[in-house]
Structure 1
Amino acid sequence: MSSSTCAGVDVGGGGIRVRIDGGEGIIAGEDTSPVPRDRGRVDLPRLAARVAAVIETSAPGVDRLEGMAIGVTGLPGLVKDPETLWHALGDRFGLGALVVAGDMVTTHAGALGFRAGVVVAAGTGVITLGTDLDGVWNQADGWGHLLGDHGSGAWIGSQGLQAALRAHDRRSGGSTALLEHMTARFGHPLDLVALVYESGSPAHHLASFAPSVAEAAREGDPAARRIWAEAGRQLAQTAVAAAAGLEPVFSWGGRLFDAADLLMEPFQSTVRAVLPDARFIPPLGTSADGALGLAKAAASIEARHPYMYVFSRTDAPAVRPLRRTR
């Protein structure tokens, strides 16, 4: 690896994804375990150890990184003292600069390549960022599976499990197809209850059922199809809310959009019902790609960017304060 090697890291509900560029092609790495948490917040010391392990496993020869950027789910609300990542990773990789940003920032950068517009980041959770990269920074949703994240993987999984449990109870509005999927995946409903309510990451388990809801929808189950259609509408409402003050340019990121056949039509039609001139641009890359782009630009990032902390060796390691317009 060259002295200008950079690493981009995406930390989402589905795990850790890494992109490393040392000038000889991009190396990818992944850790699919749930993000470590401590009383709800992201556990930064454990996260740093896992990020380091993915980098060292994926690129065994790396001994110095000029720049690194980490897009973290839950920032700023659930990420306390991000300087912890600088202390844990700075010396370990001889970092010149480190950017710690919300994963909505890295998803936006990956999808639109630092262009103005709105990007919906939807995986286990959902958060949307509309920005012109200057004075407009609109966040919509991102409030977690108990308070928001409408249309996310956890929301879809929860809606699907509720329909399955209604069928189990012989209540109206249930789905026997989803009940069969639930039983095949989790066993008896009491096993599901114990798994979800005793888990340190219930959203992860809820979202793990979203692929089963997609499978049932493609098999023609009306309840599953309604859930996915409503998810598309919920994501669209979030996207429209984040478009205030911007040209109506939209893109997306996150693994939920892999179910494009179920999601895109209700998503796009709902946006266009409000904003007829809306333009939809397929994402140029992923959140990990956006993080890599930020890593390469880490030394020149200015403090005007909100939702972002910047640390470097040229300045005393310090946090550049967040500011939010909404």
Structure 2
Amino acid sequence: MNVFIGVDGGGSKTEVVTMLEDKSILAQFDGGATNPYTTSPLEAANELNRLLETTFTFINERSIMCKGICLGMSGIQSDEEKSTLINQVRQCMKHRSLSFPITVCTEGEISLMAASGEHTGVLVIAGTGSIVYGFTREGSIHRAGGWGHLLGDEGSGYQIGLQTLQGIMRSYDRIAPPTLLTSLVQEACQLNEITELRTFIYQQPFSKKSIASYAKLCIRAAEEGDPLAISILRSQAASLADTTTALLHSHPDLQQETVAATGSIFLHSSIYRTHYKECLSKIFPHLHMVTGSADRPPAYGAALIARQRFFYPDQGADGLV
């Protein structure tokens, strides 16, 4: 039995998928951060080693033949960083008497492959942050947005969460009408009165991820018909559509490619997803759009790339066709 390994290494978690030749998932292992810039380089290396050891043990115990591994690692960009990463993986393989080809890709490439099954096209990510990538058939990579929560991240969980909190206080001041968001946030934060939100927010260090967590309350309220929540989601979807439009206008060849919408906001909010597509369709009526699936995480996309690059059905036992 032959398998391919895909790794999605991020700043908060890492996922490893072992995929069979028929593209079904055989095993999946999760771990902590492996981005050397969000944790220490040593901690990132140790966590990746731990996950690889777990995966390689799984393979050896079942006498499985791995035909290739693809690593999509955040924070790994330069040739030197890629070389160091490949050497690290080779050392782990050596300890297990394993030998198979290795390739390193960007986060965007593995996410696009997971969502669309293609290595070219437009990737739109709306999670805690947001960004739009364009991957051309000539091999060039373009981007728009992704400037972080202070300078951008339009359409992101952070911006939705922030507008949720701000909208509640505008409702309290009667600038905006009453909203279901008030009771949802009050309950989530265990506040006696919504005016306590100011103390709750300002007297503790709130990270970008913490603010983004309130986006799920906005999505819930919108599903129950709350006008303010719906307005927030639609306005943020329109903002991200604007960013996507700018990239497509700058690189017209990408207008013929698939646009893959990924990330937790697209996944969990049909209102956001539908309005984003409506905004783009008004400008690009023939654009083909797909939405990522929870069943096809980025690590699965990495395994698909490994399969695409290293799968030779007629390969003999010696590795030669």
Q: Which amino acid aligns with 1:178?
A: L
Q: Which amino acid aligns with 1:133?
A: R
Q: Which amino acid aligns with 2:187?
A: A
Among residues 258, 263, 284, which one is paired with 1:275 in the alignment?
284
Map of 1:45 onto structure 2: 42
| Structure-1 separation of matches of 2:178 and 2:56 | 47
C-alpha contact 1:151 1:234 (8 A) present in aligned 2: yes
| Structure-1 separation of matches of 2:166 and 2:155 | 15
Distance 1:36 1:68, change over 3 A: closer
User: With structure 2 as the length reference, what TM-score do the two structures score?
Assistant: 0.74
Q: Which has the larger radius of gyration?
A: 2
User: With structure 1 as the length reference, what TM-score do the two structures score?
Assistant: 0.73
After superposition, the C-alpha distances for 1:159-186 in whole angstroms (9 at most, x for unaligned) are 2122234456x36348653232223333
Give the aligned length: 290
Q: Which amino acid aligns with 1:245?
A: P
1:229 aligns with 2:229: no
Q: Which is further off, 180-189 or 24-33? A: 24-33
1:8 aligns with 2:6: yes
1:294 aligns with 2:297: no
Secondary structure of 1:91's counterpart equals helix
Q: CA deviation at 1:65?
A: 5.3
Distance 1:11 1:256, change over 3 A: farther
Secondary structure of 1:139's counterpart equals strand
Percent identity of the aligned residues? 25
Structure 2 counterparts to residues 1-326 of structure 1, below 5 A: 5-12=3-10, 15-21=13-19, 25-29=24-28, 31=30, 35=33, 41=38, 43-54=40-51, 56-57=53-54, 60-63=57-60, 66-73=67-74, 76=77, 81-94=81-94, 96-114=100-118, 116-167=120-171, 170=173, 172-173=175-176, 176-188=179-191, 189=197, 190-197=199-206, 202-243=207-248, 244-246=251-253, 247=256, 249-283=258-292, 285-297=296-308
C-alpha contact 1:165 1:174 (8 A) present in aligned 2: no
C-alpha contact 2:267 2:291 (8 A) present in aligned 1: no
Distance 1:255 1:194, change over 3 A: same
Unaligned runs of 5+ in 1: 301-326
Distance 1:233 1:160, change over 3 A: same
C-alpha contact 1:11 1:17 (8 A) present in aligned 2: yes
Q: Which is further off, 66-75 or 122-131? A: 66-75
After superposition, the C-alpha distances for 1:249-303 in whole angstroms (9 at most, x for unaligned) are 3222222212342122211111122212222234484322211122335669xxx
